[in-house]
Amino acid sequence: MQIESKLPHVGTTIFTVMSALAAAHKAINLAQGFPNFNPSEKLQTLVSQHMAAGDNQYAPMAGLPLLRERIAHKMEAMYGISINPESEITVTAGGTQAIFCIMGAFVRPGDEVILLEPCYDSYRPSIETMGGVAVPYQLEAPGYQVDWQAVAKLITPRTRMICVNTPSNPTGQILTRTDWDALAGILHGTNILVMSDEVYEHLIYDSQPHDTALAHAELRARTLAIYSFGKTYHNTGWKTGYCIAAPELSAEFRKVHQFNVFCANHPMQAAFADFMADSSEYLGLPQFYQQKRDFFAQAMANTRFKALPCKGTYFQLYDYSAISNEGDLDFCKRLTAEYGVAAIPVSAFYSNGHDAKVIRFCFAKTEDMLEAAGKRLEQV
């Protein structure tokens, strides 16, 4: 039987490849983006308690009411925006599922979706699964700043959406009010939507605030914003997040969500609802991860790698051009096999494989692991 693939260019992800290589060489894995430490014991206990209490069947399709209320309260407290928990918040099975549902709800065959690359690798396959066309705008190292007038030139009558990510994986850069003003300017008078991936909202450093697209009056009605409990509470494997959008957008989003997974994990939702009552758990994240960022920078101080600015996320980019002229994928493979530290080539986040001799490390690790990685990389 012949099968015509909808994703003919998609193979095994670079994350799987590098993690398998790390395992084979017993390398320190700073490639995949997840913590090597457990979430709060209190949060784990809450999950167990809700399981024991019988919260093991389907949750409401849009999410537990108390959890959505807690999310709305957080959005108002942090960003000064009023969100209706009933009609504007949908709890999802992680941020990636939310991305897929957004594309499923709004992208039709032939629609164009502008991507700011390098970007999270699930955007393009989700677009293409729906028959859409990804249109990349290429950001350049070391600053990865957006020229919004250049982005405007990519807009055509077929443009359906622009995808943004702040703080950005993999670049660690953030979008500010100036960026939102510029984006609003080029979208004024159009029906173009914005997918704002804000899963690292609490991981912003050096006293910088998180600017959400939802707080911009002109973007509010056209934005679907994505968030992740996994990134916030150190439990990426629990796969729970949420999407916030205006009622008319949420209604369309939920049409796909309900037939995709119907609902997210019930005991996890109940536990998150309880845990969110203590805002210090997420308000302390900038300091928690900035300490790790700075510790890793110190561990790398005696290497020949050049750090690029990291304003947010738990990823740090390094330029290795002073070390080697190899392509970034070959360099990462050699780094893993010969020096015992795994990283991700940033070319994997570009649709054209753009290689600027930059690689990505994840510093959401314990200090002993970060220190050991630095020692090994001093030998490169």
Instruction: Report the DSSP pairing between strands 193-197 and 344-345.
Output: unpaired
Q: What is the pLDDT of residue 150?
A: 98
The radius of gyration of the chain's CA atoms, rounded to the nearest angstrom, is 20
Spell out the CATH class of 55-278. alpha beta
In tens, the pLDDT along 113-137 reads 999 999 999 999 999 999 999 999 9
In our burial notation (b when 16+ CB lie closer than 10 A, e otherwise), range 37-66 reads eebeeebeebbeebeeeebeeebeebbbeb
How much is the average pLDDT of 154-174?
98
Percent of the chain scored above 90 by pLDDT? 97
Q: Map tokens 């393009």 to a residue.
A: 124
Burial of 138 from C-beta contacts in 10 A (0-12 / 13-18 / 19+): middle
Whether 330 shows a pLDDT value over 90: the answer reads: yes
Q: What is the pLDDT of residue 355?
A: 97
Kindly compute the dihedral angle of the four CA atoms of residues 348, 349, 352, 357, in this order, to the nearest 10 degrees. Answer: -70
In tens, the pLDDT along 214-230 reads 999 999 999 999 999 99
What residue spans define the domains of the chain?
A: 14-32+284-377, 55-278
In tens, the pLDDT along 64-113 reads 999 999 999 999 999 999 999 999 999 999 999 999 999 999 999 999 99
Q: What is the pLDDT of residue 9?
A: 86
In tens, the pLDDT along 240-271 reads 999 999 999 999 999 999 999 999 999 999 99
In tens, the pLDDT along 141-151 reads 999 999 999 99
Instruction: Report the DSSP pairing between strands 223-228 and 241-245.
Output: antiparallel
Superfamily in which the 14-32+284-377 domain is placed by CATH: Aspartate Aminotransferase, domain 1 (3.90.1150.10)
